Amino acid sequence: MDFELTDEQRLLRESVDRLLADHYAFAQRRGYLAEPEGWSTSLWSRYAEQGLLGLPFAEEYGGFGGGPIEIMLVMEAFGRVLALEPYLATVVLGGTA
């Protein structure tokens, strides 16, 4: 059994890590908490631009057809920065239902 990430999975992990490193320093996180939504709508738009919002949805519906491994990589990155955006509640649960 092979437990190595594919090149595409490594690229996904690196790109999400880079995005969050650039936009989720602790001081920035405190600022996001102060926004009316309690999270960053501008960063949510960046997630959309990067394709993260379409990750678990099938390609036939305009998504990227990501599976549990890809979702785990994104969720791990969000956990490392204590991301506030409702990714699990909206994208993951909606995309895997």
Is residue 44 in some structural domain? yes
pLDDT score for 3: 84
Q: What is the CATH number of the domain that holds 85?
A: 1.10.540.10
Q: Is the pLDDT of residue 4 over 80?
A: yes
Assigned domain for 2 exists = no
* CB neighbour list of residue 14: distance below 8 Å, 6 or more residues apart: none
For residue 52, the number of C-alpha atoms closer than 13 Å in the C-beta half-sphere is 28
Q: What is the pLDDT of residues 23-67, one digit of tens each?
A: 999 999 999 999 999 999 999 999 999 999 999 998 999 899 999
Domain hosting residue 89, numbered range:
7-96
Has residue 35 been placed in a domain? yes
pLDDT > 70? residue 97: no
Residue 40 CA to residue 44 CA, distance in Å, equals 6
Q: In the prediction, which pLDDT does 1 show?
A: 72
Q: What is the mean pLDDT of residues 80-89?
A: 96
In a domain, 1, yes or no: no
Q: Does residue 68 fall inside a structural domain?
A: yes
Domain count, the chain: 1
- H helical segments located in the chain: 7-23, 26-34, 41-50, 68-81, 87, 93-96
